[in-house]
A and B are shown apart, each in its own frame.
Chain A
Amino acid sequence: MTGGGLTGTGLTFGGALFMLGSWTAILVLLVFCFTRIRARR
């Protein structure tokens, strides 16, 4: 099995959406958690 982008088509629209969506979700979770943790210190 090969990488999904092994065709050399660059980062597709779907790939970019998936990547940025995942990054955003993780960072939102990170900020949410630390905001709550610091607020209840």
Chain B
Amino acid sequence: MTSHRQREIWNTKVGLVFALAGNAVGLGNLLRFPTQAAQNGGGAFMIPYFVALILMGIPLMWVELAIGRRGGVHGYGTTPGMFGTLWKHPAARYLGAFGVLIPTGLVLYYTYIVSWCLGFSFFSAAGTYFGEVTRDGMGAFLDGYLGTATNPHFAGLGATYFFFTVTVALNIWILSRGVVKGLEMLAKVAMPVLMVLGLILVARVLTLDPAPHGEADWTVANGLGFIWNPDLSSLASAKVWLAAAGQVFFTLSLGFGAIQTYASYIRAKQDLALTGLATTAINETVEVIIGGTLAIPAAVVFFGLAGTRDIAQGGAFSLGFMSLPVVFQQLPAGQFFGCIWFLLLFVAGVTSSVAMSQPMMAFLQDEFEVGRRKAAWIVGLGMFVLSQPVVLFMQHGFLDEMDYWIGTFGLVVMALVEIVLFAWVFGMDRAWEEITRGAQVELPRVYYFVIKYVTPAFLLVILVVWAYQDAFGVLMMDGVPPESRPYKWGARALLALLLCGIMWGVHKRWGGRPMEAEEHVVED
């Protein structure tokens, strides 16, 4: 079965860049980045962050765009087909199955988290949590919303399911409209809205009254210093370098399989170099300029330096869903600014959740000739059904287990596999030709060597150190209470089930077919 379906193509260059930026910009930019920066040496974190961006992030972005565009030219929208064009071996298709598993596994819990943002935007506007003026109080509010603890605000999971259902329905609607009328249109509306909402909040944070509680050092300047003052001693810490490299992965959506799918809708001779740089520039504007100016400086003004350090150690959810709502309650027009903050997170999250859903959409459409609307309903309803354990077993670490194997370890493995296939198996000369074909800017030749040697080495070091430090302990469930272990096994079983399903699809589509038999190139 070889699909000769006419594939959609991005309508405009700006629309393509906005869609890729929407793919990359997500909760990681606004919540994970400031938390990681504050946990890992502030300004010292930024030095390895920028090094990782230049040596790993931008090259990998070009590699994923080139793999995707090449796949699209051959009629493939997902990595099983794409890898088969790079390596004429049947194993290539099965390796590519991970590029469908990762975004599909991610979307099962990412969309759920995005729906919290919609819920909290409503709760901010309605003032529902106003009165919970401590972080512990907000923590109890969040627990009640998630059904992990009893709470006077929520009788059950009704509100949770309402906002989750609305978010899933919105995803289905956007996906069912296709690439140009759905994804591109969303990006053209969402990215400017996101920028405006972000700048409103930046203006508000930078004009906060210093020391509202009378503490002299609770100021925005100290908050910015927390993020930017370099603590050069941290540069010697491998942990800081790994955290920075990990953040670059998450923020650019690398290793997800989603960039490749978006790139498969690019014209055969359209520029990739400038597209990748523009996508990175938008992403870094939202992350470094907007994300770095919002949460941590605001937290320092209201909780002080030591309090903010504790918040950052508590993680991104502690910062976004427990601490900032306390801040909003102390601001004039706090309901408005709270609503804007969570709406900002929601918009950033939705542009990413549809991007994570698109690989499975493309797999169904390109390889099995499923219609667009039918595929959107299959993906959306499948997501809703399979995410039920994430919703119901949240307190048992079901989401955390999926996030570790899919959203942390899986990304690095996938990125390493794809760059080895592209730069070494396919061949660096051909890879360089793929990346630079149609380029509107001349790429420095040094990147030929960076992509061939430095980026794979960087990824290998990250993988080995993470495997040594964390993976074995997580695999053996060190420190996991016995009552939570069945749920962790359940999360692994769900991922294994998904992988088996995708592998079965790969087998049904390509099993036993000679690799060279179906090379068909879609002319631009």
Contact = CB atoms under 8 A, between A and B. Distances in A.
Nearest to A9: B225
A26 B288 contact: yes
5 contacts: A3-B296, A3-B305, A4-B231, A10-B225, A27-B289
Interface string B280-316: 1110110011000000100000000110110010000
A29 to B, nearest CB: 4
A6 B45 CA distance: 14
A38 B271 CA distance: 13
A37 B39 CA distance: 37
The majority secondary structure among interface residues of chain B is: helix
Given A12-B225, A15-B230, A36-B441, A6 B274 contact: no
Nearest to B38: A3
Of the listed residues A5, A9, A14, the one surrounded by the most CB atoms of chain B closer than 10 A to its CB is A5
B524 to A, nearest CB: 16
Given A5-B226, A11-B221, A15-B224, A22 B42 contact: no
Contacts of A4: 41-44, 225-231, 234
Contact of B274 (A9, A14, A36): A36
A4 to B, nearest CB: 3
Contact of B50 (A3, A11, A22): A22
A22 B50 CA distance: 9
B160 interface: no
A9 to B, nearest CB: 7
Nearest to A40: B440
B234 A1 contact: yes
A11 B281 contact: no
Nearest to B44: A4
Interface in B41-87: 41-44, 46, 50
Given A18-B228, A19-B224, A5 B17 contact: no
A1 B41 contact: yes
Interface of A: 1-6, 8-12, 14-16, 18-19, 22-23, 26-27, 29-30, 33-34, 36-38, 40-41
Nearest to A10: B221
Interface in B219-249: 219, 221-222, 224-231, 234, 237, 239-240
Nearest to A31: B281
Given A10-B222, A22-B46, A22-B288, A5 B281 contact: no
A4 B37 CA distance: 9
Contact of A5 (B43, B46, B278, B306): B43
Given A4-B41, A36-B274, A37-B17, A26 B284 contact: yes
A29 B288 CA distance: 14
Contacts of B224: 5, 11, 15, 19
Given A1-B240, A37-B14, A30 B229 contact: no
B518 interface: no
B226 A3 contact: yes
Contact of B40 (A1, A16, A27): A1
